[in-house]
Chain A
Amino acid sequence: MLNLARNELYRLFLSPLAWVILALSQALLAYLFLSHLDYFMQIQSQIAAIPGAPGVTEMIVAPLLGNAAIVLLLISPLITMRLLAEERRNESLPLLTSAPLTAAGVVMGKFLGSFAFLLILLFMVLLMPLSLLLGSHIDLMQLASGALGLLLLIASFMAIGLFLSSLTRQPAIAAVATFSLLFFLWIVDWAGQSGHDDAGWLGWLSLLKHFEPMLQGELYTADVAYYLIVTLTFLLFAIRKLDNERLTG
């Protein structure tokens, strides 16, 4: 299983895709980071006098991580699409299914491999707010809470993408389907905000809704549980799908 994850990560870095994704998302977020920083520098003198005014962490770190979540939403489908769909298209899946591995082992290996890749991305993003430590004081706990939120978000993105990738042999279809589903789960609470009282449960479904409190440094068990449930559910779906293929051909 770990071998599979390692191989997955290694193969990812053999393709230019991984490097391009890392470089461009880093560049994009660096630009956002700098513009937030610039804005903060401008208004710093004005808000310094106001008691209880937002500090560096609220003004820079939280928006940065929020933007990072959107960038991740956009790139996750590109990472997950190849996991199983491409194996299927290259007909290399029998290599894994005829090895002494269970379907769960295959799915977990794939999941961990892609998860590790996004961890690298996340680490590089976090270096930016951490660099503020050189000249300022930031709320490390709030940063940690936001990072944990992103971590959980990544896990659920990967699980959803992996499942959709298991359904098809066309990576492009897997990518589009993953993006649509992620985007839908992202905006589903808009209906909840439009004033209907009975739409509250839609808000509960939203990936975004559970992420926002963590950005503000508020960590709720329910939010953590939500991401874990989403991740586990889609991983189980993927395992079931692979198993079913063996049974019905």
Chain B
Amino acid sequence: MTKLLEANNLGKRFGQQTAVSDINIHLSRGEVLGFLGPNGAGKSTTMKMLSGNLAPTNGQILINGVDLLEQPKQAKAHIGYLPETPPLYRELTVREFLVFCGRLNLLAGKPLRIAVDRVIERCGLGDVQHRLIGQLSKGFQQRVGIAQAIVHHPAVVILDEPTSGLDPIQIRDIRHLIREVANEHSVILSTHILPEVQMLCDRVQIIAHGQLLFSDSIDALSKQMHASSLQVQLANAPSVSELSAIAGVVSVQTIADSTFRLHYQPDNDPTERLVSLAVANGWQLRQLVAEQHSLEDVFMKIVQREENSKDA
């Protein structure tokens, strides 16, 4: 498969402080890569380096085979970048702004008009194209930001936290739009929201403290996330010892009067036995949740594994 974006041993130091170190990123055609990490992990720094806004201290970035550091002008023509805060001129109308962005990216004449028409249609901006950007809602401004990144039809689109600060409906719309964008472009998406990655991405890379901890397909991540605990609520609860007697249950933790957390061995899932026992003994099962690890747990798990392997 052709590699559209290739970053090797990317590192950035600010003075004495190392922001990111030794990051490798590969993006193939038509792929959506999720770049996941808690706040302050170095996501935005990496995105800035990939978009040519920040020169890495060491490492190499190839965009579509063009070296970003040696031939920035040629390489940047293949990139569309949406920073954390969408870069917009509030006093322009949507259409004027997109025309300007198209020109910035060396489009002119008829191709420019076609490209702007197309991007307005794709991003659902038709109704607001003659309104001032400053008057639009944040969700629409974000759409204009995305439109700005794809107007020149770049090979790689880099989106830095595209859904931060939006309300749930706007988030849903933007995710829908990103998925639409992904049909035609390769996308790198940085976020700290795990479900977003699960919904949108083919592959995921996890970064924490400036280091790449995990790089695999989304399925592999799901496995990592699968926890080995159940949360149950029983209106007519039995004693803790009765619960721990169920085959496969390792330990029982009481969360509230009638709510428990059952830990079990990963290869011996007691869910079915628990349900049939609950029915047989009249425990009145109200709630049964297979617990998923939160992003933080996954991080902890991955970080711990990392440290263990270093010790070994």
Asked if B76 CB lies within 8 Å of chain A CBs, one says yes
Residues of B contacting A100 with CB < 8 Å?
Answer: 72-74, 76-77, 104-106
In the complex, residue of chain A having the shortest beta-carbon distance to the beta carbon of B80? A98
Kindly state the interface size class of chain A when it binds its partner: 20 to 34
Residues of B contacting A94 with CB < 8 Å?
Answer: 48, 51, 53, 81, 83, 87
**Binary contact track A81-101/B, C-beta < 8 Å → 1, others 0:** 000000000111111111111
Residues of B contacting A246 with CB < 8 Å?
Answer: 52-55
Question: Could you tell me the distance in whole angstroms from the C-beta of B74 to the nearest C-beta in chain A?
Answer: 7
Asked if A3 CB lies within 8 Å of chain B CBs, one says yes
Asked if A180 CB lies within 8 Å of chain B CBs, one says no
Question: Could you tell me the distance in whole angstroms from the C-beta of A98 to the nearest C-beta in chain B?
Answer: 4
In order of increasing CB-CB distance, the 9 nearest A-B pairs are: A95-B87, A92-B87, A99-B104, A3-B103, A91-B85, A98-B81, A100-B76, A100-B77, A94-B83
Interface centre among B77, B79, B92, B100 (most CB of A within 10 A): B100
Residues of A contacting B219 with CB < 8 Å?
Answer: none
Asked whether B104 lies within 8 Å of A249 as measured between CB atoms, the reply is no
CB-contact partner of B52 in A11, A90, A97, A249, under 8 A? A97
**Binary contact track A101-140/B, C-beta < 8 Å → 1, others 0:** 1100000000000000000000000000000000000000
Asked whether B104 lies within 8 Å of A92 as measured between CB atoms, the reply is no
Instruction: Determine the distance from Cα of A97 to Cα of B14 in the docked complex, in whole angstroms.
Output: 20
**Binary contact track A51-90/B, C-beta < 8 Å → 1, others 0:** 0000000000000000000000000000000000000001
Query: Given the known A-B contacts A94-B81, A98-B53, A249-B14, are A15 and B104 also in contact in the complex, defined by CB atoms under 8 Å?
Result: no
CB-contact partner of B76 in A3, A7, A14, A99, under 8 A? A99
In the complex, residue of chain A having the shortest beta-carbon distance to the beta carbon of B76? A100
Number of B interface residues in the complex (CB < 8 A): 31
**Binary contact track B95-130/A, C-beta < 8 Å → 1, others 0:** 000001101111000000000000000000000000
Asked whether A102 lies within 8 Å of B73 as measured between CB atoms, the reply is yes
Asked if A29 CB lies within 8 Å of chain B CBs, one says no
If A100-B74, A101-B76 are given as contacts, then 5 extra A-B residue pairs at C-beta distance below 8 Å, sorted by A number, are A3-B103, A95-B87, A246-B54, A246-B55, A249-B54
Residues of B contacting A21 with CB < 8 Å?
Answer: none
Asked if A247 CB lies within 8 Å of chain B CBs, one says yes
In the complex, residue of chain B having the shortest beta-carbon distance to the beta carbon of A103? B72
Instruction: Determine the distance from Cα of A93 to Cα of B53 in the docked complex, in whole angstroms.
Output: 10
Asked whether B88 lies within 8 Å of A3 as measured between CB atoms, the reply is no
Asked if A4 CB lies within 8 Å of chain B CBs, one says yes
Instruction: Determine the distance from Cα of A93 to Cα of B87 in the docked complex, in whole angstroms.
Output: 7
